[in-house]
Chain A
Amino acid sequence: QVQLQESGPRLVKPSGTLSLTCVVSGDSITTINWWTWVRQSPGKGLEWIGEIYHSGSPNYNPSLKSRVTISVDTSKNQFSMKLTSVTAADTAVYYCARDSRAGMDHWGQGILVTVSS
């Protein structure tokens, strides 16, 4: 079955860069799906960060566009996200997900990233 697994540092210093990777298993990242990042601040709702297609340009949340970059590594069947100039407001659980355009139907378990000195 399709599985997604987030990984990366769980603690990032303010003004630093948050870098996460999502490894996909059970599906090829080159299929007709979009690969998505979503975050959830503690006790808050869901926020769409952006998405990427294996052969196209990524789409980003306008509020984060100046700080976020999403990329794909087809050789490793994974995709990644970098968020620069982080502050405490970027502390959240970060999820990766597959968007088949019939909805975000598979999600990783999420990774809590804390921004703190």
Chain B
Amino acid sequence: GQNIDQPTEMTATEGAIVQINCTYQTSGFNGLFWYQQHAGEAPTFLSYNVLDGLEEKGRFSSFLSRSKGYSYLLLKELQMKDSASYLCAVTHGGATNKLIFGTGTLLAVQP
């Protein structure tokens, strides 16, 4: 079966650092994506991990441990505009590479 878990909601303060965790159990794995989704808008691509380790891209970093079925998204120097839902998604593999999404973590950044 497929199962992706992430916290439903998180709150953080402007300028701070926040870590959003994601654990997964899937029958196939070809990589893990993080997407950002503002209310009423399309998901936008943030990061992709296929190998173990940390990928850094500006204020955002993403980590993957395939052996533990675990990833996190790290957001530094939080800004009010970072208030959004953050979606963890695993590519199922095979010929399709469809994305299996978690329910998303709604992050509220407070002043």
Q: Do A and B assemble together?
A: no
The interface of chain A, by Cβ under 8 A from chain B, is none
